[in-house]
Amino acid sequence: MHWADSIAKALSHRSEKQVIASGITPSGEFHIGHLREILTSDIIKRACLRLGLDAQFVFFVDDADPLRKVYDFLDDSYEQYIGHQLANIPPPDENGSPDFDRFKEGVSYADHFLGPFIQALEHIGVNIDEIIYNYAAYKSGKVAEASRIACNQSDAIREIIERVSGRELDEQWFPWNPIDSDGSIDGITITGWEDPIVYWTDSQGREGLSDVTKGEGKLPWRVDWPAKWVWRGVTMEPFGKDHGAAGGSYDTGKEISVILGEQPPYPTTYEWISLKGVGAMSSSTGVTIGPLEALELVPPEILRYLITRNKPNRHIDFDTGSALIELADEYQKKLGDLEKGPGNWESLSRRQQVAWEKLKAQLIYSQIDPSQAPHAASERVTFRHLAMLAQIRKEDAGVWESLQRSGLISGQPDDDLLRRLEMMRTWINGPHFPESFRLRIQTSISDQAQSYLDGRDGDYIFSIHKGLSDCVWGAEEINGVICEEARQREIPLRDAFQTMYWIVLNQDFGPKLASILAEMERQEVLNLLQLAIDGLSS
RNA sequence: GGGCGCUUAGCUUAGCUAGGUAGAGCGACGGGCUCUUAACCCGUAGGCCAGGGGUUCGAACCCCCUAGCGCCCGCCA
């Protein structure tokens, strides 16, 4: 069974109505790891719906959280905002300085980072039923009840945190972080509690009060999280392994949740996504691939597929190199398999049946439009093939022409293919394109190639030159010349092609050679061959 | 120190809350496609399921122990 279906099944034992949540603090650039959080929720929601449950997906934006530090991408002037809530501070401009103009227009620091992310989510088919801005939720009193209970039960909550997490809270600890007169929630001492008012003294020695029902502050994270579960009725939430560690915030949260009046949601911890060979995603070390950047490389369904095919507890190495091409081609191949059907169902072993069901689920959950059944693309243009064509043909029209000629598409390319070519070009021109797929059509013969050619039959190259100078310029004809000449000389095809690969690409292998040559100008090819011949006779 | 996860063919892995002959993809090898090695099709080889113990008629699958690797435990998913 697919992992999302197992979770949905477990949830169905609890209730018909499911509220699946995700929460992210918009403190900096979003990366593909955040995408896993959201997609995990989205896929579970779809699994619930498929099972006939009533399911909603709510996305909590933790914009009530304070700015923790001046990140690398921020100007030093952000120092003054440390401790201030993300919904309340200006967004950075391209230099990392506070952009007051945009702030005046109503764009906060949180909005700045959130905007592009939400946009990416739309492209990737994530259907969020409700976005909850935590800051606004506090302001409007949604968290009032939970906040009052927490403050009234501060001893019990303190006991849970100390016992479960094993860390000691200091004397001053209180389950409420008020905002001081400057807008900061750092360095404040609680001096009293009189439902619903918290009395405090800030770092400057100024005193004040904070009404917990009016959002004049927030609950500390370990209490804030279960409070969200309770007031919004969350029944399921996936979270990163940091929260899932023993004594972590889920462990304390599930007990605090009970004090606040509700059972904790069904948990799922998910593993990190790291960038192949570089390490875990981290905004601070600059090891990131943003969701938008990822979407520029691969079609959104491939990103969904990446998440659905891996169980949440499975670590993912996001490989932007050749593995990405393989992933995309694998996806397409599986769509084809699905369309072909499982064959005689009865004759399959139980294992094979399970595998089939899972394959089906993976593809269903990969669809951008949940109402669309997976179907094989009408054209079988693989990523591999497109990667080659995009490198040989600089103009899009040339690519379409080539695909038409080879019969892979009929007529004009559809939108899907247009998009894929655009992405392929972005990929090829960017830093992530795998070197092993890069084609370097030569304009001269390298020493290395020359030394290979010296041990070969020079007449063969000469006859190729002759044959290609007057044949019809098409892949089939070119291939015919190469093979025919080789056969006449009893040269194994393998050797013949290697010879040609060395001349054209300066390596001993490559994609279908004839199709490359057919894409080149005849004169270009002849020039190269002539150079090779010249090199031999010297 | 506490905890989580992983360890199945060369590589990536499925199967583990239905315990009953180990599935797949890539790669390799062979063949076919009127003739490449990154296309396509067919086939072959390759696994004492990390190690040990236990439960069972029977364990990759359940329980215990050990080892290796990765990661999390100051609100960075």
What is the 3-state secondary structure of A68-91? CCCCCCCCHHHHHHECEEHHHCCC
Determine the nucleotide nearest to A385 by Cα–C1' distance: B39
CA distance A223 to A154: 10
pLDDT value for A233: 93
Under DSSP, is residue A65 helix (H, G, I), strand (E, B) or coil? coil
pLDDT digits (tens, 9 = 90+) for A509-524: 777 787 788 778 888 8
Q: Which residue is nearest to nucleotide B21 (CA to C1')?
A: A349
CA of residue A504 to C1' of nucleotide B27, angstroms: 26
A447-537 CATH pick, 1.10.10.10, 1.10.10.350, 1.10.3300.10, 3.40.50.150? 1.10.10.350
Could you tell me if A209 and A199 are in contact, meaning their C-beta atoms sit under 8 angstroms apart? yes
CA of residue A106 to C1' of nucleotide B56, angstroms: 68
ipTM over 0.90: no
CA proximity to A529, closest of A446, A464, A481, A441: A464
Q: Quickly tell me which residue has 């080879």 as its tokens.
A: A406
Under DSSP, is residue A23 helix (H, G, I), strand (E, B) or coil? strand
- The distance from CA A220 to its chain's CA centroid, rounded to whole angstroms, is 30
Pairing of strands A217-218, A266-270: unpaired
* Non-local CB neighbours of A60 within 8 Å, separated by 6+ positions: A21, A22, A23, A24, A132, A134, A228
Phi/psi at A382 (5° precision): -80, 165
Could you tell me if A53 and A17 are in contact, meaning their C-beta atoms sit under 8 angstroms apart? yes
Q: Which residues of chain A have pLDDT under 50?
A: none
* Non-local CB neighbours of A414 within 8 Å, separated by 6+ positions: A378, A379
Give me the residue spans of the domains in chain A.
1-282, 383-437, 447-537
Interior/surface letters A453-487, b for 16+ CB within 10 angstroms, e for the rest: beebbeebbbbbbebbeeeeeebeebbebbeebbe
CA of residue A241 to C1' of nucleotide B4, angstroms: 8
Q: Would you put residue A125 in left (φ > 0), alpha (ψ -120 to 50) or beta?
A: left
CA of residue A296 to C1' of nucleotide B15, angstroms: 35
pLDDT digits (tens, 9 = 90+) for A35-68: 899 999 999 999 999 989 999 999 999 999 999 8
CA of residue A327 to C1' of nucleotide B8, angstroms: 22
pLDDT digits (tens, 9 = 90+) for A142-199: 999 999 999 999 999 999 998 888 888 888 889 999 999 889 998 899 999 998 999 9
Determine the nucleotide nearest to A437 by Cα–C1' distance: B38
pLDDT value for A64: 94
Determine the nucleotide nearest to A510 by Cα–C1' distance: B38
The bases of strand B with some atom under 7 A from any protein CB are: 2-6, 13-18, 21-26, 34-40, 70-77
Under CATH, which architecture does the A1-282 domain have? 3-Layer(aba) Sandwich (3.40)
